Amino acid sequence: MSRKAIAWSGVFPAVSTQFNADYSLNIEATHRVISNLVADGVSGLVVCGTVGENTSLTLAEKLAVIEAAKDAAGGRVPVIAGVAEFTTAFAQHTVKEAARAGADGVMVMPALVYSAKPHETAAHFRAVASSTDLPVMVYNNPPIYKNDVTPDVLVSLQDCDTIVCFKDSSGDTRRFIDLRNTVGDRFVLFAGLDDVVVESIAVGAEGWVSGMSNVFPREGETLFRLARQQRYDEALALYRWFMPLLHLDARPDLVQCIKLCEALVGRGSATTRPPRLALHGQALADVEVLVAHALKHRPALPDVGLGEDR
């Protein structure tokens, strides 16, 4: 599979999964959240990722979310399904089920819990990717998953045709340059950490899996396009406004932070499944202040060809 076979670029929010007060899945609310993101002009969707609370969902719930996303997207943007399992075999099974549910691609995480050695990590991705015809995005998030997918691991996977994309949340943008120096443009590169997105685009990122674009999708897509168009003065002005919120994506409690922000701007519920517990005390107050300040000083957005609601 060639990277030309996919059209993955721009902002792909890591969509939150919506729950009822009793923590049961609220598929209608999840569908509504996704529909609103598509209407606001995002370029794609990642469901059942970290922000989507993948590991708290049953397989049946994951498939319901994928199906809801496909329906909400209506063919206008690609839907990528997160795959985060404890074993390679479980991941292979989930990928097959995601394909049946209509996913346009999968974002595969390292096998969870076990801190694999580099050759084991590579073997996991190879086995999962070889089990499907879907395009695969390899997801690296060493602070959260305690497993580092280094450029060397990617280089060892360059012969695996279905692996077409690399999402990096390490925060080390040098890795994109190292990867390009070694394998050229073999992989589509995606920024995975919100508060280094402009830097990531400057060194080759073609897409952004974004947490805070769930809350401010038009601002996220505009920031991305400004940076891609090398309109850096305008991009940096918007980046400075956005940065206090983007830092929330780098915290261990990023899911609670992002969902609280969604609730504060009327885009979703703050409810997360335990063991994730709601923010309280000073942490809660700090996020409320950040959102209030952002709304009060929300900037007029430059024209980047985003267009009107779909």
List the alpha helices (DSSP H) in the chain: 27-39, 59-73, 88-100, 118-130, 142-145, 151-156, 174-183, 197-202, 217-228, 232-246, 254-264, 281-296
Please identify which of the residues 62, 70, 145, 167 carries the catalytic annotation: 167
Please identify which of the residues 139, 145, 239, 259 carries the catalytic annotation: 139
Burial 5-19 (b: 16+ CB within 10 A, else e): ebebbbbbbbbbbbb
Nearest to 135 by CA among 162, 95, 173: 162
The answer to whether the beta carbons of residues 132 and 99 sit under 8 Å apart is yes
Phi, psi dihedrals of residue 80, rounded to the nearest 5°: -110, 130
- Grouping H, G, I as helix, E, B as strand and the rest as coil, residue 226 is helix
Tell me if residue 139 is catalytic. Answer: yes
The rounded distance, in Å, linking the Cα atoms of 310 and 305 is: 13
The answer to whether the beta carbons of residues 37 and 236 sit under 8 Å apart is no
The answer to whether the beta carbons of residues 153 and 129 sit under 8 Å apart is no
Tell me if residue 145 is catalytic. Answer: no
List C-alpha distances in Å: 80 to 8, 19, 138, 148, 205: 10, 20, 12, 22, 18
Token digits of residue 185: 């443009």
CA 291 to chain centroid: 21
Please identify every residue annotated as catalytic. Answer: 139, 167
